[in-house]
A and B are shown apart, each in its own frame.
Chain A
Amino acid sequence: GAGVSQSPRYKVAKRGQDVALRCDPISGHVSLFWYQQALGQGPEFLTYFQNEAQLDKSGLPSDRFFAERPEGSVSTLKIQRTQQEDSAVYLCASSSNRGPLEAFFGQGTRLTVV
């Protein structure tokens, strides 16, 4: 596709529910990132993939957060047993591994846990 695509755009979950957020990166982009953005704050790093390998997951806030990219393309961020503090916008970005390594972001998924 032309850009990074995320789905769903909005998700309302009851506390305790599991959610899955999808990211379709730009075709051919090796690097994929997930960020979490709380209201009024800058995005915070969650995790990084290079192809299918998850090279850094240091930003995942708890073991309820899990990300995968099994075929090196589409990625899914899963949150188990959601809590109110998980409410945020989840942003996905991708970049090539050549040239200036410019990052391109998707529109984000706004998760509200009620």
Chain B
Amino acid sequence: KQEVTQIPAALSVPEGENLVLNCSFTDSAIYNLQWFRQDPGKGLTSLLLIQSSQREQTSGRLNASLDKSSGRSTLYIAASQPGDSATYLCAVRKGTYKYIFGTGTRLKVLA
């Protein structure tokens, strides 16, 4: 059974810091991995999607990497801003449809 773990569960950093969020999964047979952002009381906003054949994806200050063999992905946020405060969720897609989510990392960036 696929399990997805995110570490740390919560993180508080001063503005301007670079930071790394970690996601690990137990079954490397995934179709893709997607990182989402969730603001309090809101739905999920897709940040980056990495297909199983890819190693990383970048969007602005965000960079996500994928190492299927070790069952790990990292989300790197450069020069963090207070507006980055949210919960970050990673999800692995098993087969062609079912997403399995981690429990998320709650990020707070202090001004």
Tell me, in angstroms, the Cα distance from A56 to B94 when the chains sit together.
13
Whole-angstrom CA separation of A43 from B92 in the bound complex? 12
Are B46 and A45 touching (Cβ within 8 A)?
Answer: no
Q: Which among B36, B44, B100 has the highest number of chain A CB atoms within 10 Å?
A: B44
CA distance A104 to B103 in the complex (A): 18
A-B contact count (CB 8 A): 67
Q: How far is the CA of A110 from the CA of B102 in the complex (A)?
A: 20
- Total B residues in contact with A, Cβ cutoff 8 Å: 25
Q: How far is the CA of A102 from the CA of B91 in the complex (A)?
A: 11
| A residues adjacent to B (C-beta < 8 A) | 4, 6, 31, 33, 35, 40-45, 48, 50, 55-56, 91, 93, 95, 97, 100-108, 110
Interface assignment of B42: CB less than 8 Å from any CB of chain A:
yes
| CA of A50 to CA of B51, assembled, Å | 21
